[in-house]
Amino acid sequence: MKIAACIKRVPTTEAQIKVGADGKSLDTTGLQYMASFYDEIAVEEAIKTKEKLTGDVTVITIGPSDASKEVREFMARGADTGLVLKDDAWHARDARSTAKALATKVKALGAQVVFCGKVATDRDNAAVGPMLATYLGWACVTDVVSLALENDKGTAKRETEHGVETVSFALPAVITVSKGLNEPRRPNLKGIMAVKAKPIPEEPCEAVANQAVVNKVEQPAPRKAGRIVGEGAAAVNALVTALRSEAGVL
């Protein structure tokens, strides 16, 4: 089975984010990057699918040449090939332009199943997976926490706000994955050495104009300082009142 996993390069968890001088983007000075959290689960599921049904896994990302680092990391974990669709302004692409470019490539690859993280941890759109499925005309199963795939079909459990939903679908499909589906393996050092010299092809990413344009980026307002309402048991009433009327959590 031809399996693809799409990953996005995002700033590391440790990154201290600052708004760029244009007020519309992030200041990328000194930023380090990693694959988005849910994408790790996506690639792990792709590798597990290959191990169960045989086939090969291609990891695709849109980004600068350096994004080969994240792709190679997944190859060290067991993905067979990687591909960087080069776009130095990848972080400015909207979900539609990302999905369109990916759809073209997924078609060319002849993949039967594509795994994506349910959302990228930088821009929180949660839209690329479903849009990719739409452009491909494939089944789309989102927020998957459990999956049983066969060669031509599958069943999945999806976590929704109302409970867990079990769905059946036919392949080809785009599956977006959620936490709990699997525990991503760690690359080992031998794996890293094995893929060290493997070429990761780079192709220009299809240019698609953004429809959603970022006008302004602001950092979240700093958290307000706490307030001590009193001391000991005598303060309980004041605390409950404050939690109800000020915080609105009761």
Partner 1 sequence: MEPYRPLDFFQLDDQYSEDERMVRDTVRSWVTERYLPLCMEHFENGTFPMETVPELAEMGVFGPTLPAEYGGAGLNNVAAGLIYQELERGDSGLRSFCSVQGALVMYPIFSMGSEEQKRHWLPKLASGKAIGCFGLTEPDFGSNPGGMLTVAKKDGKNFVLNGRKMWITNGTVSDVAVVWARLDGKIRGFLVEKGTPGFSAPEQKHKFSLRASVTSELVLEDVRIPESNLLPKSEGLKAPLSCLTQARYGIAWGALGAALSCFDEALRYSKSRIVFDKPLAGFQIPQKKLADMATQITLGQMMALHMGRLKDQDKLTPQHVSMGKRNNCQLALDVARVCRDMLGANGISLEYQTGRHMVNLESVNTYEGTYDIHTLAIGQELTGIPAFR
Q: In the complex, which residues of this chain contact partner 1 (CB under 8 A)? A: 13-14, 16, 30, 32, 68-69, 72-73, 76, 186-190, 192-193, 196
Burial class (CB in 10 A: 0-12, 13-18, 19+), 25: middle
Q: Could you check whether the bond before residue 222 is cis, i.e. omega within 30 degrees of 0?
A: no
Nearest distance, CB of residue 73 and partner 1, angstroms: 6
Q: 55 or 187: whose CB is closer to partner 1?
A: 187
Cβ closest to partner 1, residue 76 vs residue 95 = 76
**Residue 204 has which token pair?**
């220009």
The least CB distance from residue 181 to partner 1, in Å, is 18
How far apart are CB 159 and partner 1 at their closest, in Å? 23
User: 209, exposed or middle or buried, with CB in 10 Å at 0-12, 13-18, 19+?
Assistant: exposed
Q: Quick one: 13 or 245, whose CB is closer to partner 1?
A: 13
Q: Which CB sits closer to partner 1, 189 or 233?
A: 189
Residue 189 or 234 with smaller CB distance to partner 1 = 189
Least distance (Å) between residue 67 CB and partner 1? 11
CB of 153 to partner 1, least distance (A): 34
